[in-house]
Structure 1
Amino acid sequence: MKIQVLMENTAEGALCREHGLSLFLEVEGRKLLFDTGKSGRFLENADRMGVDVSAADLVVLSHGHYDHGGGLPEFLNRNQTAKVYVQETAFGSYYASRSDGTYEYIGILPELGESSRLVRLSGDFEIEKGLRLFRSMTGERFTSGSNQVLLIKEGSGYRRDFFEHEQNLLIEKEGKKVLVSGCAHRGIVNILDRAMELAGGPMDVVIGGFHLSNPGEGGTEPAETVNGIADYLRSFPTRYYTCHCTGLPAFQMLKDRMGAQISYASAGNLLEI
């Protein structure tokens, strides 16, 4: 199994970087694209890395924010066949409230929601044996405080977003259990718990953003929160790769407690599992 990081906030060498995430996975002959970054620039990186995105069998959009689905139009032009798996609410009116009292649109272009290439889901879904998407979970431990400023516009008002549009990918193939998250808005601890419940045991690998930074206003989650997450994650025989919305300061706090069990994944990285 291979995972290549096509786009992330940091990058190796001359590759593009942006506030976004895109991963390309190869498993048992399948080629999956997980998220499309903020723009079509992930395709530039793919070309430089020798990744043929036009050969992707399917796409997973983790949730309805621009930094994960902003490159979808360019992908649909490049790849003419792959279906795109999304939760049916992924094209909602998502906003972030800013400290100056304004509201910033952070969703995906609504017109993309009309594409015939979409597979709209209303909950957990098994793509095939060993490839499962899930959004269901009950835990609320160690969720990001910055979720408080992430909203849904309804009429002329706004309400808090509880992330019904967020889904995660659980892979059980090649004798491995791998969890892929986008931003983990609902808390990486809670998402991991649900993945282990579905898989019947610990993950071999977890990769994705843990949402421990606030990209709109800056700042990092309190040390108590980050350390609590680190202590929980390190209690399992799992290898972690984090990136994107985790933020480098929070990553360093995780690294200080977890050591070699956790690494940072930048654009250009290749992970062989």
Structure 2
Amino acid sequence: MLIKTLVENTCVSEDFRGEHGLSLYIESGNHRLLFDLGDSELYAENAKKMGVEIREVDTVIISHAHYDHGGGLKHFLGQNQQAKVYISPYGFDDYYARKSDGETVSIGMDKSIEAHPQIRLTNQHEILSDHLEIFSGVTGRKFFPKGNSVLLREKNGLLVPDKFLHEQNLVIREKGKHFLLAGCAHNGIVNIVDQYLSLYGDFPDMVIGGLHLKNHSTGEEEDPETVRYLGEALLKTNALYYTGHCTGSASFQILKEVMGDKIRYMATGSVIEG
């Protein structure tokens, strides 16, 4: 399996541009996938530099309903008329973030594309092919990111805490290895991995995605001691972790101290071979 990071906050070199967002291109079996599309059209610019042909993509998974993961979708639908786009049935609800100054801003998806014929709304456990699956419905609350406290959804005209029902995770099985992709792990990466364990009976070989240990709206980082305990918990899974985006540089350094080579950073322009 081949994974190319098209969008992340940082870059491997000045040949690329980054933004607050995530987009991964994946070659797996006969599939050409995009997991998230960043905040803008930047994913396509970097794709061209990395030798990725957007028109050949057959599958898109939007991990959750925030602009920094689905902001490039309208552009994608104008460039590719064949790919199926898998989004949670809660994906076009209204979502907000409360900033450090108290202002509340919209962070949801573009509703103008909600009825587009390429969009498929997913079930809680969706089998896409013999080696691609999506699952959601994570209910555990261990190491629940404190940055979630300023993330809201609209319900009956009121803003209430987001339960992240719109967050979904991708599972890829290839050549005897299992890969788990989580866009921001708002439900907590330990809880997501626990749900994976309950579904498949073992831990994944590799976990890829942001860990939401830094809140973009407020700039607040997770408590260092909590991050250390989190790293110890992740070590017990014996999986290899690739992370970036909403993990935050300070939290990543702590995780690196705890986990060593079991955790690695992915930046715009990086390539992972599984």
**Structure 2 length as normaliser, TM-score?**
0.97
Question: Is 81-90 or 193-202 further displaced after alignment?
Answer: 193-202
Aligned to 1:127: 128
TM-superposed deviation, 1:211 = 0.3
TM-superposed deviation, 1:155 = 4.8
Helix, strand or coil for the counterpart of 2:215? coil
TM-superposed deviation, 1:256 = 0.6
Distance in 1 (alpha carbons) for counterparts of 2:261 and 2:271: 17
Helix, strand or coil for the counterpart of 1:178? strand
Map residues 43-192 of structure 1 onto 2, 5 A cutoff.
43-192=44-193
Aligned to 2:2: 2
Question: Is 222-231 or 256-265 further displaced after alignment?
Answer: 222-231
Aligned residues: 273
Distance in 1 (alpha carbons) for counterparts of 2:237 and 2:265: 18
TM-superposed deviation, 1:235 = 1.3
Distance in 1 (alpha carbons) for counterparts of 2:153 and 2:243: 27
Aligned to 2:39: 38
**1:195-244 deviations in Å (ceiling 9; x for gaps):** 12222212111100000001111121001221111001111221110010
Q: Is contact 1:208-1:241 (8 Å) kept?
A: yes
TM-superposed deviation, 1:264 = 0.3
**1:17-66 deviations in Å (ceiling 9; x for gaps):** 00000001111121111000000111000001111121111100001000
Q: Is contact 2:139-2:187 (8 Å) kept?
A: no
Structure 1 vs Structure 2 CA RMSD: 1.1
Distance in 2 (alpha carbons) for counterparts of 1:155 and 1:191: 28
Distance in 2 (alpha carbons) for counterparts of 1:92 and 1:168: 18
The percent of aligned pairs where both chains have the same amino acid is 43
Q: Which amino acid aligns with 2:197?
A: M
Distance in 2 (alpha carbons) for counterparts of 1:73 and 1:209: 23
Q: Is contact 1:31-1:56 (8 Å) kept?
A: yes
Q: Which runs of 5+ in 1 are unaligned?
A: none
Q: Which runs of 4+ in 1 moved over 3 A?
A: none
Distance in 1 (alpha carbons) for counterparts of 2:140 and 2:256: 24
